[in-house]
Amino acid sequence: MFVIFGFLQKTLIKLIFTDQINGTTNVLYTKHLILAIPQYPLKVLSEKTDFFEEDLKQDIDSVIAQPAYKLFLGYERPWWKDLGLEYGRSDTDLPIREVFYATVKANSPKIEHQNNLNSFILASYHRGFNQAMSFWQPLIEGKPYLGTKNPFSNSTGLDGLWATKNMVLAVQDQLKELHQIEHIPQPYIAVFKDWSAKPFGGGFHFWKTHIKPWEVAKRLRRPKQNENVYLCGEAYAASEQTWVEGALKTTELMLQENFKLEKPEWLSQSYKLD
């Protein structure tokens, strides 16, 4: 999906949406445009419209996108409870880096396939570690691991997210090494997400050295004072960058500064947004 926008009589913003798969195009008009997207799609968009002048492109380029992978495994039972682990996380210098544990309450009325959804772990969360990245990159390509008794094996919603067989084999070996056990049951499902791939371009962002985040972040919330185009999101948060909190802070500041909205009642008056 490509989006191009331009200005019409200084009152409306024209948006052109092009579906690259079927070639269809839709045109919409709006008085205000909020771009709640990270650096990579902003860079793509900057090549499609003349709104992004050189100084704005430099501000957009003031952060560095960081790679991040996540690998989730689902098990028919929470085997880590045998080790006295209920929830929380483990850290390691193995390529899996971080492991998070979770267990679904049995017989929950909100959960389908209850017999097969008793537990899962974020089996690998690697972010910005070059050694870990180089380990997993060759394993991304290959035959998908569809698991055993996988209730979602025919789900098109998970297409492109299946972990490969080699990836699951590697992570199972590392989980055994991390927990110092000889056997771990086979997962019934394994899904993998590379946040570095398009259209995201990175899992999170860091400011470049010598950049003054408080100045750049404020400029980007409304790049041109005479145009109703606004930016917000984690990538350009002056504080709490890389976190959801940063995205929420930039959004709240953008709304207060440009739409004259009052701070919501549930947000403490002493809470610092920048």
Partners of 125 in the β-ladder: 70
List the pLDDT tens digit at each of the 274 positions of the chain.
Answer: 455 666 655 678 989 888 878 888 999 999 999 999 999 999 999 998 889 999 999 999 999 998 888 899 999 889 999 999 888 899 998 988 889 998 766 555 554 444 444 678 888 776 665 567 778 888 988 999 988 777 777 777 788 889 999 999 999 999 999 999 999 999 999 999 888 888 899 999 999 999 999 999 999 999 999 999 999 999 999 989 999 999 999 999 999 999 999 988 998 888 889 8
How many other CB atoms are found less than 10 A from the CB of residue 175? Answer: 23
How many other CB atoms are found less than 10 A from the CB of residue 243? Answer: 13
* 252 CB-near residues (< 8 Å, 6+ apart): 263, 267, 273
Which position has the token pair 């919501």?
A: 264
Residue 44 structure tokens: 């793509």
pTM: 0.80
User: What is the rounded radius of gyration, in angstroms, for the C-alpha atoms of the chain?
Assistant: 22
Q: H helices within the chain, ranges in order?
A: 39-46, 54-60, 130-136, 165-179, 213-221, 244-259
